[in-house]
Structures are given as C-alpha cells and as structure tokens.
Amino acid sequence: MTERDSVDAIVEQWRTERPDLDPSPIGIVGRVSRLARELEARLEPVYKAHGLEPGWHDVLATLRRSGPDYRLRPTDLTNATMLTSSGTTKRLDKLEQEGLIRREADPNDRRGTLITLTDAGRKLIDSVTAAHLANEARLVGALDQDEQRVLAELLRKLVLNMPDA
C-alpha cells in the first residue's frame, strides 16, 4: 500500500462529507502548496549560511544568469523574479546598501535605470550557487532522474496553462 500523508486525509474527509464533489485536485494543489512552503524553509538556511538575507538570492541569481554585464532593467528584473515592483524596490535598496548591486542610468533610455551586479555581488552569488544547487538536488533526491524529468514536465505544463485569476 502507498504511504499516506495529511493531504490524503483531507481528500478522504471531503469525500465523506461531500460525496457530490470531486476533491481530487486537493491532492495536487494541497501538496504543491505545502511542498512550496517546505522547500522555502529548507532553502533559506543555505542562503543564510552564505550571508544572504531572505529574498536576496533570487535577485542576485537573476542578475548573474543574465550574462556578462550582469544588468537588467528594473521591469525585467521584477518580471523574472515574480515580485511586485514595490517588493523589488525594497530588495534593491537593501542590496545597494550592501554594495551588491548598483543603479546606473540606462544609456539607451534617458529616463531609465539599469540594475547591475557589482563584483562583490557576483562573488557572493557565485559562492552560494554550488551549495544551493546541491541542496536542491538533495531536496528532490527521493525521485530518480526519470521521475524528476517527468515531474518537471508536468509542472511546466501546469504553469504554462494556468487559467487567468
């Protein structure tokens, strides 16, 4: 028999209380929601061990992945990190105060700004990336490579086909 978790109990309770409804989506949505919280809780200690405050990793990693010059417009950074513009601004203010990013005038847009990863920011994100990826591999280690590939494809399909709110 397959091992049961707390989501199984929730689905079963709904089946008992409301047999007219299909609670099976809870098996996916409930687990994805719980898993997201659990993953975040297990990612943060690695960031903290490398001197990153909560939320900094995503911004620094996004700039680092952008390639040489390691700079993006604030709008592109906000879209890539899925933050609100005010959330991005708050993180950028703190990262700038720490000397990990700098704001520069956009030479192609007189009104625009570019966010650039500093040398210190690049060194910091490079120092944490190997440990971060090893931690992620550990977190998905209950699945073999084929299972990880299938799960990634299924999650991609859900993300790409998410109905509008």
DSSP 44-79: HHHHHHTTPPTTHHHHHHHHHHT-TT-EE-HHHHHH
Q: pLDDT tens digit string along 71-127? A: 999 989 998 887 888 888 899 999 999 999 999 998 888 889 999 999 999 999 999
Complete edge-to-edge strand list for the sheet that includes strand 109-117: 71-72, 109-117, 101-106
pLDDT value, residue 81: 85
pLDDT-derived band at 1, boundaries 50, 70, 90: low
Copy the structure tokens of residue 44.
């943060």
> Residue 105, SS3?
strand
Residues in contact with 59: Cβ distance below 8 Å, sequence separation at least 6, in sequence order:
77, 81, 88, 91, 92, 95, 101
50-160 in CATH: which number? 1.10.10.10
* Integer CA distances (angstroms), 111 to 105, 106, 108, 114, in order: 8, 7, 9, 10
Q: pLDDT tens digit string along 26-64? A: 999 999 999 999 999 999 999 999 999 888 999 999 999
pTM of the model: 0.86
